[in-house]
Structure 1
Amino acid sequence: MSGDRRCIVPKCGHTRFTNRELKFYAFPKDPDLKLKWMENLKMKKCLNKLNFVCSIHFEDKMKCESRLKKKAVPTLHLGYNGPVAHEFIEHFIPKRKCCVQSCRRRNLYKNRILFKFTDNEKEIYAWAKACKLPLPLPSKKLYICERHFEEAFFSKVRLFPGAFPKLYLSDEDEEDVEKSDNESNASDTEQSEEDSYAPDLQINPPEEQIRKLNAEIECLRKDILLLENNAIYPQAESSAEALIFARMIVGDEKLDYTDKEKDLAKKLRCNISAIAYRFMNRDIGCRLPQFKTKELMKFKFN
């Protein structure tokens, strides 16, 4: 099978047999990444499991010694002019930073202690206001360094109950942000605090709405592609065998073939050459079952 590998990119035609120095990569199993490959190659359907893309279509920065890097997509020599739908974004683990914008240690990665920003609903608004962060918070993974807490409220590994950021929060002028002593006791104070935070909740409403709409668009785009790949539009004069054949060649590869599909495929195989049948299955991408010679001979003489 390895000798039969052929690059599926239009106008490429490289095969493993004629280009031993090239590497041939199978389509990724991850559905989202697979969709990006298809869109860059302008494919409406991933024909079968034997589709490969050769190494000349990937930038050097996407390649490891024996495989592609995570999130790699084909971007070179794709047979058309113009930009590709998806560029390679190298996967990396972002370094943790203190969420306080004015912190002197924000860009330092040594000699500091970082704590996870509180996720307590009763504290999150007060913490965000003290650290001058917009609401809703820009990320679920925020961190704050030890210099913004009093020493009595933290150790090298964790914050103690009652810890609250109040040091070095205002343009490094060492102005403390005092937490009201009556915040959790006086209902009128709680109401005034809620009122003061209410405007903050509207700071970035468009970003959240845009994010949700983009997610919905992405889901709809996948649904459209799925329908385009699998929808069958029979004509009034279509025969029953034509419908069976159509459903078979574009069906889900994970599903087993029905008896009618197997019989129809055997009939087709008995009337064309092995090369033509292989061409339909591998090169064109028709979903056709494979048969042993004995099985075909038995069918042919029955």
Structure 2
Amino acid sequence: MDKIKEKLQQTSQATRSERRGRFISFLALILILVVVIAIFWFVAAKGLATFFQNHINVWDFLSGKTWDPSVKGANGRPEVGALPMIVGSFLITLLSALVATPFAIGTAVFMNEIAPRNGAKILQPVTELLVGIPSVVYGFIGLSVVVPFVRHVFGGSGFGILSGTFVLFVMILPTVTSMTADTLKSVPRYYREASLALGATRWQTIHKVVLRAATPGILTAIVFGMARAFGEALAVQMVVGNATLLPHNLVSPSSTLTSVLTEGIGNTVMGSLQNNALWSLALVLLIMSLFFNVIIRIIGRKGELR
């Protein structure tokens, strides 16, 4: 009896394996948290040095129209106005999302509601192929095709917000399309059956039932695509013109936060004002990424409540 009791009280192999798995998962979670916190701490420490060490006014940094950290302005302070890059980033992000959204929703509806077999065979592999193309390839295509097209049709040098919009439109289209298609698949089938049983046509069912039920997921896909566009660097840098000026129109050379960062971070000395100012731009990017993530979570929660 004592031996049987001891065996019953011993921890089984499955239990030990489960505990090891939980411990490894906990360690992985802790590692991810440490890495994220370290990144935030590092970028914040570097970015805030512009305001605390170099004594640059935050409002002057965000609203200034001139970016030249190596030159002092009329007030005796360095010119570190980030407004042109902030405006350029937001313009390209919003325009690319506006252009990509109708195409993404139309493609997702075709893949799921109209021709799911052909969509799964043709459109889905093509969409996945677009996701895997490196950004530098998009940049070269934009430089060789989009910029001359914009120059010929709309005038100007071809470099500017419009060229960046066309390039980012193609880059975020597969992301928005894939997430929208997954959202449409998650709409219960009985929604469609009930609508058709009540006499609605297929298009009425898609428009009034399926798309409305999938609205939170579609909005999440759009915001996720905007976050992807806002953080893109290389492809945009190759077609936007990299002029740190407020864009007067869509075909005038401009710049974004990422393009200025990638162009200047390797040409500055660590700890200098020029370097700290670039880290401040990185901090703005990081804050905007957090903002997009918060919006995605809010939309996701509203979708769950519905």
Q: TM-score, normalised by structure 1?
A: 0.22
Higher relative contact order (CA 8 A, sep 6+): 2
TM score, norm. by length of structure 2 = 0.22
The structure with the largest alpha-carbon Rg is 1
Structure number with the higher helix fraction is 2
